[in-house]
Amino acid sequence: MEGLNMIDKKEKISFENTEVAFASKTNTDLKRAYWMFKIVASNSMVNIGTVLTRVALAIKFPINWLVKPTIFNHFCGGEDIEDCSASIEQLSTFGIGTILDFSVEGKHEEKNLDATAQEVIKTTHKAKGNSKIPFCVFKVTGVARFDLLQKISSEAELNENEKEEYKRVIDRVDLICKNAFEANTPLLIDAEESWIQQAIDNIAYSMMAKYNKKEAIIYNTLQLYRHDRLAFYKKSVEKAKTNGYLMGMKLVRGAYMEKERERATENKYENPIQPNKEASDRDFNKALEFSIQNIDFVSICAGTHNEKSTLYLTELMDKAAISKDDKRIYFAQLLGMSDHISFNLSQQGYNVAKYMPYGPVKEVMPYLIRRAKENTSVKGQTGRELGLIKKELKRRKL
Ligand SMILES: Cc1cc2nc3c(=O)[nH]c(=O)nc-3n(C[C@H](O)[C@H](O)[C@H](O)COP(=O)(O)OP(=O)(O)OC[C@H]3O[C@@H](n4cnc5c(N)ncnc54)[C@H](O)[C@@H]3O)c2cc1C
For the entire predicted model, the pTM comes to 0.93
CA of residue 252 to ligand 1 center, whole Å: 6
pLDDT in tens, 10-65: 557 889 899 999 998 999 989 988 888 887 776 665 666 666 666 566 656 666 77
Residues whose beta carbon lies within 6 Å of some atom of ligand 1? 190-191, 221, 223, 225, 252-257, 273-274, 276-277, 280, 303-306, 332-334, 355, 378, 381
CA of residue 370 to ligand 1 center, whole Å: 12
Comparing CA positions, the residue from 81, 77, 159 lying closest to residue 126 is 81
CA of residue 366 to ligand 1 center, whole Å: 17
Residue 382 has pLDDT above 80, yes or no: no
With a pLDDT cut of 70, the percent of the chain lying above it is: 90
Q: How far apart are CA 351 and CA 373, in angstroms?
A: 29
User: Contact at 8 Å (CB) between 382 and 40?
Assistant: yes
Closest atom, ligand 1, to C-alpha of 274? 43
Comparing CA positions, the residue from 305, 282, 313 lying closest to residue 378 is 305
Categorize the per-residue pLDDT at 204 as very low, low, confident or very high, splitting at 50, 70 and 90. Answer: very high
SS3 354: strand
CA of residue 223 to ligand 1 center, whole Å: 8
Closest atom, ligand 1, to C-alpha of 99? 1
Residue 7 has pLDDT above 90, yes or no: no
With a pLDDT cut of 90, the percent of the chain lying above it is: 75
- Looking at residue 14, its amino acid is S
Residue 124 has pLDDT above 70, yes or no: yes
Closest atom, ligand 1, to C-alpha of 256? 11
pLDDT in tens, 274-327: 999 999 999 999 999 999 999 999 999 999 999 999 999 999 999 999 999 999
Give the Cβ contact number of residue 168 at 10 Å. 15
CA of residue 337 to ligand 1 center, whole Å: 13
User: Contact at 8 Å (CB) between 342 and 304?
Assistant: no
What's the whole-number average pLDDT of the chain?
Answer: 91
Per-residue pLDDT at 4 = 41
Pick from 250, 252, 333 the residue to mutate for probing ligand 1's pocket: most ligand atoms within 8 Å of its CB.
Answer: 252
CA of residue 351 to ligand 1 center, whole Å: 20
